[in-house]
Chains A and B, each alone.
Chain A
């Protein structure tokens, strides 16, 4: 019998799963996630929420696996389509054509603006990134690429070389030569390196892992112009911004700027399968290059029969329900709420940035992010900070999120910020000392301290198991509340 996760998991079962994960995959990862109470075991994955098998607690999924669940978790239309397809299809044969593959490609191209008419089937975001760069390099005969500081397109050879954060690269050097990193929204920086040696400019319309930095309209217009001047291919990575995430089917529509090449993945899998694709313009030199090299990128699991059925169903769901309309309204409401929270906590919050339902809140100190994840988890909000910008907590809810859920999440964030202030009461004054701040921002120490606290907490839980019976007021709890109140006043002092 295939494995089936039981609805609830005892502490012992969880410990066994963590032991297995640590033994066979990575102990470091288990330890890392434990520090912020992020080691939950997802059950009842429905819409915008899931429950934790250990505590039974319901969580809002504010991460959506970096924007993989745009049509909601457990979307019945998508699941039924896959289930039906399993009666006829499997992955299908690599390199052969099928009606599923062709229909999907035609549908995808028809939903892209302008002359984005041609498709390359791919499996994942990094696979599609590799295909896009190969296409640009092969077609232009040029080697170099301009990519964004803190940009993120994956961690395989091509995408890793194009990663905008050294941390991910430095242990694996030497990587591919000829990547020029520039900060986003700085046209001058692009102009300085743009030349006839550049094959492509690669960017996400909004940096996702880089901390939710939307590109400005002026920047996009400028990039298009620079690319046209030098014969450079403009590549948009729409892996996180696509499928309705920003308030339009694709982010590029919001700008009215058509890239030469775009690629997508993540939500293409509908949360239940795997798929991705590159779409490129029907222009020279792209078309001639592909005609001359039809096998320039042959992704073995890209555009599988089942994958194409699933992505077709996802596109249908997104388009029929015009999810981008809800994204725009819910995104606005969420952003307004977060801005309010930011105003009330301007001593710790630097800025709120958003593009549709891609929302980031940036703190003034890097070490706050991990604590914030922890506090959010306690409030039933599962959120993750940006990989390439840890001081930014991001929220990528399902596109069908209701106003009530947005309000519920906002009040959770409010409560989490309040709790966070208790920690900050101690940490903020310390963080003013440069040396201590360095220690605080060191992930290693954070993990050690977090795990130590978690062990203490679990030890306490074992000594005094929580009862479901109504609780009597406890003296400790009262003291805790007093602390909270004092935290508020300390904060106001710090603000002054």
Chain B
């Protein structure tokens, strides 16, 4: 049976001992503080397991990756079959797999975002977006908002509010950072030298901060007036997470470049993408192979992504996310009112929900205590006093109910 999760023979303590040596002791300590000191042993549906065979309701989903649940059966079957038929393929070659996924994505993503560049890891696609914006506009500057988190390479780091980034010396020059939601500051910053305005329309790791839709519309018109390109990073908010396929649909604003994350493959294959308008593709037409990536557009990854897109279309999990999100927000708001001393506020959209606690320490305790109750959650990385709830979008009402009970208990314990 496919959904059986095997138990490991190794003793967790021995493995952690090795992890301290080969990675770092502080890493293992960090996990312990949040109660994440267990060994993950795969997952199925809304749950993941540890090496002892204990199951946890996965409300972390690797930061919004497992939107279709852990190890979605239908994607898995397609993956296994394709594994014996194709492989990575040679980079630089056009392949029918890349072509077919590109067509599929252009149909899937709303609006005129018809073109694609395939990346691998979170942040890869942001590098590509920055390069495309600079290359296409021949302008050097980027404008971004405070509180973003885009990735680990240097374009993404330059744009991110990421602690410790100053340790890496000079990053990419030409980035102006303006306060979130401040139209006047954006107006001053966006000039004829601006290649792109870059933001996450909802800052998942920063207490799900979003602005009213007027802000996004004004940014759009500022970009149009100056010729700057608008880049939305929907790595976490995409693929149904916020109640629509993509969050930008709720804003009535189309970006020129959209970054999508590993939810594209349902978390079965490391693959991300940058989708963009046909206008921008001109740059890649006149500079073929100026930006490539060996593992990007992996033929097997393309098959897995197509299987996942089929599942998204078949199941339309965004409707479930929208429905359950409303109830979840109501329950959590009630809890926030009851525990006003511990919870500062609750924010979010659909099944991307953030609980802001009074202190960072409390947030860590929350994670640890929730794990004892059988629910896996993680803290926000920009606002570390927050705990994010982002389960599989196929989660049922019963599981949501169980989650709320655990959170209620957790709040009493911490």
Partner of A304 from the list B97, B114, B270 (CB cut-off 8 Å) is B270
B262 to chain A, nearest CB (A): 6
A9 to chain B, nearest CB (A): 7
B231 to chain A, nearest CB (A): 15
B16 adjacent to A97 (CB under 8 Å): yes
Partner of B42 from the list A32, A90, A141, A174 (CB cut-off 8 Å) is A90
In whole angstroms, how far apart are the Cα atoms of A102 and B8 in the complex?
A: 13
Q: Is the interface of A mostly helix, strand, loop or mixed?
A: mixed
B18 adjacent to A102 (CB under 8 Å): yes
Partner of A175 from the list B65, B91, B157, B172 (CB cut-off 8 Å) is B172
Q: Contacts of A338 on B, CB cut-off 8 Å? A: none
B262 adjacent to A301 (CB under 8 Å): yes
Q: Contacts of A403 on B, CB cut-off 8 Å? A: none
Partner of A296 from the list B71, B88, B164, B268 (CB cut-off 8 Å) is B164
Is the C-beta of B135 less than 8 angstroms from some C-beta in chain A?
A: yes
Q: Contacts of A266 on B, CB cut-off 8 Å? A: 294
In whole angstroms, how far apart are the Cα atoms of A287 and B264 in the complex?
A: 36
Is the C-beta of A236 less than 8 angstroms from some C-beta in chain B?
A: no
Q: Residue of B at shortest CB range from A240?
A: B294
A177 adjacent to B40 (CB under 8 Å): no
In whole angstroms, how far apart are the Cα atoms of A295 and B31 in the complex?
A: 11
Inter-chain CB contacts under 8 Å: number: 377
Q: Contacts of B123 on A, CB cut-off 8 Å? A: 300
Contact with B along A281-308 (1 / 0, CB 8 A): 0000001001111111111111011110
Is the C-beta of A106 less than 8 angstroms from some C-beta in chain B?
A: yes
- List B residues 121-176 near A (Cβ within 8 Å): 121-124, 127, 130-131, 134-135, 138, 140, 151-158, 164, 167-174
B285 adjacent to A109 (CB under 8 Å): no
In whole angstroms, how far apart are the Cα atoms of A486 and B70 in the complex?
A: 66
B294 adjacent to A265 (CB under 8 Å): yes
B307 to chain A, nearest CB (A): 4
- List A residues 361-418 near B (Cβ within 8 Å): 382, 384, 387
In whole angstroms, how far apart are the Cα atoms of A123 and B152 in the complex?
A: 11
- List B residues 81-126 near A (Cβ within 8 Å): 81-103, 105-106, 114-117, 120-124
Given contacts A93-B60, A157-B155, A174-B172, contact A86 B79 (CB under 8 A): yes
**Which of B22, B298, B300, B303 has the most A CB atoms < 10 Å from its CB?**
B22
Is the C-beta of A38 less than 8 angstroms from some C-beta in chain B?
A: yes
Instruction: Give the interface residue-count category, chain B.
Output: 35 or more
Given contacts A73-B87, A124-B295, A157-B156, contact A143 B65 (CB under 8 A): no
Q: Contacts of A300 on B, CB cut-off 8 Å? A: 62-63, 121-123, 151-152, 262
Is the C-beta of A126 less than 8 angstroms from some C-beta in chain B?
A: yes
Given contacts A2-B78, A26-B285, A157-B172, contact A92 B62 (CB under 8 A): yes
Q: Contacts of B19 on A, CB cut-off 8 Å? A: 97, 102, 105
In whole angstroms, how far apart are the Cα atoms of A468 and B21 in the complex?
A: 64
Q: Residue of A at shortest CB range from B291?
A: A155
Q: Contacts of A173 on B, CB cut-off 8 Å? A: 134, 140
A91 adjacent to B267 (CB under 8 Å): yes
Given contacts A65-B90, A119-B23, A155-B293, contact A25 B152 (CB under 8 A): no
Number of interface residues of A (CB under 8 A): 125
In whole angstroms, how far apart are the Cα atoms of A332 and B6 in the complex?
A: 47
Partner of A63 from the list B90, B304, B376 (CB cut-off 8 Å) is B90
Is the C-beta of A207 less than 8 angstroms from some C-beta in chain B?
A: no
Q: Residue of A at shortest CB range from B275?
A: A24
- List B residues 211-264 near A (Cβ within 8 Å): 262
A65 adjacent to B89 (CB under 8 Å): yes
A314 to chain B, nearest CB (A): 13
Contact with A along B393-405 (1 / 0, CB 8 A): 0000000000000
Is the C-beta of A82 less than 8 angstroms from some C-beta in chain B?
A: yes
Q: Of A130-138, A344-352, A426-434, A477-485, which stretch is located at the interface? A: A130-138
In whole angstroms, how far apart are the Cα atoms of A173 and B140 in the complex?
A: 7
B26 to chain A, nearest CB (A): 4
Is the C-beta of B51 less than 8 angstroms from some C-beta in chain A?
A: yes
In whole angstroms, how far apart are the Cα atoms of A45 and B115 in the complex?
A: 28
Contact with A along B22-56 (1 / 0, CB 8 A): 11111110110000101111110000100100000
B140 adjacent to A174 (CB under 8 Å): yes
Given contacts A20-B102, A97-B39, A123-B121, contact A38 B93 (CB under 8 A): yes
B61 to chain A, nearest CB (A): 8
Q: Contacts of B65 on A, CB cut-off 8 Å? A: 91, 94
Q: Contacts of A272 on B, CB cut-off 8 Å? A: 83, 87-88, 300
Partner of A88 from the list B5, B91, B170 (CB cut-off 8 Å) is B5
Partner of A90 from the list B70, B120, B168, B378 (CB cut-off 8 Å) is B70
B270 adjacent to A29 (CB under 8 Å): no
Q: Residue of B at shortest CB range from A143?
A: B169
In whole angstroms, how far apart are the Cα atoms of A61 and B89 in the complex?
A: 10
In whole angstroms, how far apart are the Cα atoms of A18 and B58 in the complex?
A: 41
A21 adjacent to B102 (CB under 8 Å): yes
Q: Residue of B at shortest CB range from A142?
A: B169
Is the C-beta of A111 less than 8 angstroms from some C-beta in chain B?
A: no
In whole angstroms, how far apart are the Cα atoms of A274 and B88 in the complex?
A: 9
Is the C-beta of A77 less than 8 angstroms from some C-beta in chain B?
A: no
Given contacts A93-B48, A106-B18, contact A177 B42 (CB under 8 A): no
Is the C-beta of B281 less than 8 angstroms from some C-beta in chain A?
A: yes
A328 to chain B, nearest CB (A): 25
A91 adjacent to B94 (CB under 8 Å): no
Contact with B along A128-169 (1 / 0, CB 8 A): 001101100110011110000000001111111100000010
In whole angstroms, how far apart are the Cα atoms of A168 and B138 in the complex?
A: 14
Given contacts A91-B65, A126-B293, A300-B262, contact A138 B168 (CB under 8 A): yes
B170 adjacent to A143 (CB under 8 Å): yes
Partner of B40 from the list A30, A92, A296, A297 (CB cut-off 8 Å) is A92
Known: A91-B65, A120-B23, A134-B167. 15 other contacts (CB 8 A): A2-B82, A2-B306, A2-B307, A20-B103, A25-B98, A26-B288, A42-B93, A98-B51, A138-B167, A157-B154, A173-B140, A274-B271, A274-B298, A301-B121, A387-B289
Q: Which 6 A-B pairs have the closest CB atoms?
A: A157-B154, A143-B169, A301-B270, A24-B102, A28-B288, A300-B122
Interface residues of B, Cβ cutoff 8 Å to A: 2, 5-6, 8, 10, 15-16, 18-19, 21-28, 30-31, 36, 38-43, 48, 51, 58, 60-63, 65-66, 70-71, 76, 78-103, 105-106, 114-117, 120-124, 127, 130-131, 134-135, 138, 140, 151-158, 164, 167-174, 262, 266-272, 278, 281, 284-295, 298-304, 306-307, 310, 376, 378
Instruction: Jot down 5 A-B pairs with beta carbons below 8 A, ordered by A.
Output: A83-B80, A92-B40, A157-B172, A176-B171, A294-B24
